Amino acid sequence: MITTGILCAKMSWGWILGLTLGGIIILAFVITFLALVPLRLWFRAIVSNAHVAMSKLIGMKMRKVDVNKIVLTYITARKAGLTITLEELETHYMANGDIERVVKALISAHSANMDLSVQTAKAIDLAGRDVYQAVRNSVVPKIIETPVVSAMAKDGIELKVKVKVTVISNMHMQIFGAGEETIIARVGEGVVTTIGSAASHKIVLENPDLISSTVLNKGLDTGTAYEIVSIDIADIDVGRNIGAELEIANAEADKRIAQAKAEERKCMAIATENEMKAKVQEMRAMVVQAEAEVPKALAKALNNGTMGVMDYYNMKNIQADTAMRKALSNEHDDDSSSSSVSSFGGFSGGLGGFGGGSGGGGTRPRPKL
């Protein structure tokens, strides 16, 4: 009896320990399950007729994605009648796409009976464009207002034009097509071409629709994400007379060029004048130097006997007669003659010893022959 009691006691403790361990394991499993599986979200999906498998929820939870955002977006899409899978939303989310904007665009396109596939919407979103805004612009046209475009007609008058371009989205070109900047640039180019080809600015002022029709017929929406519906002239003003300003600027430039050339000629003339003056001074110096050699030559001739004293006095008498005639006729001798007379007078004064010791450079009485 005692042995049987002991065995029962041991079995009781074993069962208690086993049950305790089993309860702990079950509790840990339940806690882990509740942590991995968002039961409220799972139940909400079931109620919304957008069933999501429990394994998918656990997988997304382990991949560390925003389960709430993906599942709620999936529920919205399913309630709107879209054919989209949870894997497509998760893949787009992991590619840094905006799944809410994509689903919103798909719902708008579905409501407007537009042919927009899930892949196209995802591609547009990943390309960096607002796919929802693109769908809206397909239904409600968008107005693009250009800045003021300045252009000059052939008569030289400037016109300032402001254009409003009405466009709708081209869903097939949203991925590779150009944006609003290209539309604005092309419209501006068309405005400048139209005004520049007009013979007078008055023609454009009288017919503003000439700009609209010309620009619209150029097919400016080619290769863009939009289709141009209409082009309207919002404002047109007359600007400056650019032709007259250019002529004035050209005349001023010609005037400055002429002044510069005249100044250049003036400087060259002054330089030539100064050069001529220097040459005159140089020639005068050479004349003075040559005149200084005359008395030396005369003295040498007298010393050598080549020239006699009487010949010298005859020369002096001739010079005196010439000076007297010039004085009587009120004629002025030039600089070279004056310098020659002065040099001769000085030389005669220096040769006073040859005439019987009489000094001075005065005129001697003509001797009788």
DSSP string, 290-313: HHHHHHHHHHHHHHHTSS-HHHHH
- Band (140; pLDDT cuts 50, 70, 90): confident
Find the mean pLDDT for residues 207-235: 83
Residue bearing the bigger pLDDT, 215 or 259: 259
Please name which of 116, 121, 106, 43 lies closest in space to residue 76, comparing C-alpha atoms.
106
Find the mean pLDDT for residues 188-211: 85
Q: Which residues pair with 165 in a beta bridge?
A: 144, 231
CA 335 to chain CA centroid, nearest Å: 70
Please name which of 311, 309, 310, 317 lies closest in space to residue 366, comparing C-alpha atoms.
317
Q: What top-level class would CATH report for the domain 142-245?
A: alpha beta
Find the mean pLDDT for residues 19-37: 65
- Band (340; pLDDT cuts 50, 70, 90): very low
Cα–Cα dist 239/151, whole Å: 9
Q: Residue 28: what pLDDT? A: 65
Contact 173, 124 (CB under 8 A): no
Amino acid present at 316: K
Find the mean pLDDT for residues 91-100: 88
Q: Residue 8: what pLDDT? A: 54
Least confident of 17-31, 38-52, 276-290: 17-31
Q: How many CA atoms lie within 13 A of 182 on its CB side?
A: 15
Q: Residue 30: what pLDDT? A: 61
Q: Residue 365: what pLDDT? A: 45
Q: Flag whether pLDDT at 207 surpasses 70.
A: yes
Q: Residue 11: what pLDDT? A: 53
Q: Residue 37: what pLDDT? A: 65
- Band (152; pLDDT cuts 50, 70, 90): confident
Find the mean pLDDT for residues 15-28: 70
Q: Flag whether pLDDT at 358 surpasses 50.
A: no
Please name which of 249, 235, 255 lies closest in space to residue 156, comparing C-alpha atoms.
249
Q: Flag whether pLDDT at 212 surpasses 70.
A: yes
Secondary structure of residue 161 in the 3-state scheme: strand
How many other CB atoms sit within 10 Å of the CB of residue 354?
Answer: 15
Q: Residue 35: what pLDDT? A: 58
Please name which of 170, 172, 174, 180 lies closest in space to residue 124, comparing C-alpha atoms.
174
Domain regions of the chain by residue span: 26-139, 142-245, 308-369
Least confident of 26-35, 38-47, 165-174, 275-284: 26-35
Amino acid present at 177: G
Q: How many CA atoms lie within 13 A of 223 on its CB side?
A: 5
Q: Flag whether pLDDT at 362 surpasses 60.
A: no
Mean pLDDT score of the chain, rounded to an integer?
Answer: 78
Q: Residue 299: what pLDDT? A: 81
Q: Flag whether pLDDT at 193 surpasses 60.
A: yes
CB-based contacts of 354, cutoff 8 Å, min separation 6: 302, 309, 312
Query: CA 84 → CA 75, 79, 299, distances in Å?
Result: 10, 11, 135
Q: Which residues pair with 142 in a beta bridge?
A: 167
Please enumerate, as own/partner, the contacts of 181-189 that have beta carbons within 8 Å and a separation of 24 or more.
182/223, 182/224, 183/144, 183/220, 183/221, 183/224, 183/226, 183/228, 184/144, 184/146, 184/147, 186/218, 186/220, 187/146, 187/149, 187/163, 187/215, 187/220, 187/231, 188/146, 188/147, 188/149, 188/163
Find the mean pLDDT for residues 222-238: 85
Residue bearing the bigger pLDDT, 218 or 7: 218
Q: Residue 351: what pLDDT? A: 39
Q: Flag whether pLDDT at 141 surpasses 50.
A: yes
Find the mean pLDDT for residues 148-160: 86
Cα dihedral sign, 170-174-180-185: negative
Tell me: the pLDDT tens digits for 279-330? 888 888 888 888 788 788 878 887 887 777 777 778 888 888 888 888 888 6
φ, ψ dihedrals at 159, nearest 5°:
-120, 135
